[in-house]
Structures are given as structure tokens and as C-alpha cells.
């Protein structure tokens, strides 16, 4: 069996033990606050990220790893692995996929690069699923083809925690921010072909959380098989617990995995943002 290096970026949350046991290499994204630049997950914690996000007068910038960092990683991996499979954050949110392709060519490393068209925990699930397929003896080309199309079966909804962050980024006007705050409007976003698009606007946190869970309930009641649900938290632990309990009360047998939302969405949506995601299993 070929020895495979599994690669992703820091927008994907993976349990450290799982990462170590399954030879997964995580390349950090860059997060810049005015004149300071940090390596996501290495020299800035989630706690510090949200503290700076709240206090910063302007929106921070997130950027992909440099081509030099990726070339160095791939050159090191060449001596240990026969090939690599990389699952990266949606190319609609980051240039990581493009940079990875350039770096793999420079390093002459046989690398299959998958644009997940997703974020965070769903990317982890894609890797876990792919590793199981490889262990089952499914050809690499078929595994990669499956990975490239998994986003089509994914459902992902995000309740925005901070209208102020959307305002900083120019996504809502001052009037919209003020009126939205007064009326307790909670925008819910979704993904379509890797792009973030508006889904609906709901008044108050509880109703917005219930709306996202009801979408899962409707999917299952309409005959879709769901094995795992992901709760993506942008420093929204209380909301995460509420959603978890709501799902448990409806579907006690479903696996629920909770993890960070990640910087790709966090920089725009702010503290208190929460997402819910699942795959419609075939």
C-alpha cells in the first residue's frame, strides 16, 4: 500500500490525537491585525483571536500560507511518503488551493489537491472518510473523485454573531447594523458551491438556533440519512450546548462533533457566531 501524507490547513479543526495517529499535516493560515501577523493556531490562540477581533477598529486580514512554506513542507514529505492528498478550505474564501498547486509543482511532489468548498469540521470529516476508503482498498483516484464531490451532499448554516464585524468589513451599512441590533436580527448564512450566501434573517438568538436545527430535522424527515452533525463555534459555547441538546432530543443516535468555527468565517462574523453542518449520506 502506498504511503500517503494527508494535508490540510488551519481552517480545518482536527483533534490533535487524531491528527498524530493518522499522519495529518496542518499548514497554518496567516492572520493580520494592523501591523501584527500571526500563524493561525501556532502563535495566536482562539481566545486571543476573538479578543483582538472585538477590540480592533478595522477588520483583520486572513491569507493563505506562503508558497515557500508549502514548497518546504512538500520537499520534506517527499522523502517519507509516496504521495499526498490535500483537502483545503474553499477556494472562494482563500487562495490556498491555488498556492498549493504551484508549490507541489515546484517541489515535484505527487499531490492530489482537493478544493473542499467548505470550512472547519466538515473538512475533517472528508479526510476521515477518505482515510477509511483507502483502508478499504478503494483506488486513490476514486477516493479523490469522491472527495471532490462531497461538498454537493453537505448542508452548512451559520448564524452571524456580530453585526458589528459585518459592518467593519463593509458587508452591512451603519443603518443596517443599528437597526439589526435594535431588532435583534440574526442573519443566517449558507454555502453554495463554496461561496457564502445569505439564507434568511431571524429575530433573536433562540429562534435562529432553532431555525438551523429545524433544517436538519426536515432533511432527516425527508429521507436523508445523516450520521454525523458538526457544531462550529465562534466562541459561542452556550449556544453550542443549546444546539447540541436540541439535536440530542430529536435524534439521540446521531454523532455530534463540536469544534471551532475557524478564522475563515470568524474574521467576518465575529464572536458568538455558530454553525451547524452535516452530510447527506448516500
User: Which three cell numbers mark 107?
Assistant: 517541489
Q: How many CB atoms lie within 10 A of CB 136?
A: 8
pTM: 0.91
In angstroms, the CA 270 to CA 165 distance is 6
In angstroms, the CA 87 to CA 127 distance is 7
Going along the chain from its start, the domains and CATH numbers come out as: 4-152 (3.40.50.10170), 153-279 (3.30.1180.10)
* Of 251, 265, 184, 260, residue with least CA distance to 213: 251
In angstroms, the CA 61 to CA 31 distance is 6
Q: For each of the chain's 282 residues, which pLDDT tens digit applies? A: 789 999 999 999 898 999 999 989 999 999 988 888 999 988 888 888 888 887 877 778 888 999 999 999 999 999 999 999 999 999 998 999 999 999 999 999 999 999 999 999 999 999 999 999 999 999 999 999 999 999 999 999 998 876 565 545 544 444 454 344 544 678 888 999 998 888 888 988 899 999 999 999 999 999 999 999 999 998 889 999 999 999 999 999 999 999 998 776 777 777 788 999 999 997
Give the pLDDT of residue 4: 97
* Of 145, 128, 101, 178, residue with least CA distance to 17: 128
Amino acid at each position: 500500500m502506498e504511503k500517503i501524507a494527508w494535508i490540510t490547513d488551519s481552517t480545518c479543526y482536527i483533534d490533535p490525537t487524531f491528527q498524530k495517529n493518522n499522519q495529518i499535516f496542518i499548514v497554518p493560515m496567516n492572520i493580520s491585525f494592523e501591523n501584527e501577523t500571526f500563524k493561525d493556531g501556532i502563535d495566536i490562540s482562539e481566545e486571543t483571536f476573538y479578543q483582538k477581533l472585538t477590540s480592533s477598529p478595522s477588520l483583520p486580514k486572513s491569507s493563505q500560507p506562503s508558497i515557500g512554506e508549502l514548497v518546504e513542507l512538500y520537499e520534506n514529505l517527499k522523502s517519507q511518503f509516496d504521495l499526498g492528498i490535500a483537502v483545503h478550505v474553499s477556494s472562494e474564501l482563500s487562495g490556498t488551493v491555488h498556492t498549493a498547486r504551484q508549490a507541489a509543482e515546484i517541489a515535484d511532489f505527487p499531490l492530489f489537491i482537493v478544493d473542499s468548498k467548505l470550512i472547519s469540521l466538515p473538512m475533517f470529516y472528508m479526510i476521515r472518510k477518505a482515510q477509511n476508503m483507502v483502508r478499504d482498498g478503494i483506488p486513490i483516484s476514486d477516493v479523490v473523485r469522491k472527495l471532490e464531490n462531497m461538498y454537493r451532499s453537505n448542508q452548512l448554516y451559520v448564524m452571524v454573531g456580530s453585526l458589528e464585524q459585518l459592518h467593519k468589513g463593509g458587508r452591512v451599512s451603519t443603518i443596517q447594523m443599528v437597526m439589526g441590533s435594535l431588532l435583534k436580527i440574526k442573519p443566517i448564512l449558507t454555502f453554495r458551491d463554496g461561496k457564502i450566501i445569505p439564507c434568511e434573517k431571524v429575530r433573536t438568538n433562540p429562534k435562529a438556533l432553532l431555525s438551523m436545527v429545524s433544517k436538519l430535522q426536515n432533511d432527516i424527515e425527508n429521507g436523508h440519512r445523516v450520521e454525523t452533525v458538526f457544531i462550529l463555534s465562534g466562541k459561542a459555547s452556550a449556544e453550542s450546548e443549546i444546539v447540541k441538546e436540541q439535536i440530542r432530543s430529536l435524534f439521540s443516535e446521531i454523532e455530534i462533533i463540536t469544534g471551532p468555527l475557524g478564522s475563515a468565517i470568524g474574521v467576518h462574523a465575529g464572536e458568538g457566531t455558530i454553525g451547524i453542518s452535516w452530510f447527506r449520506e448516500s
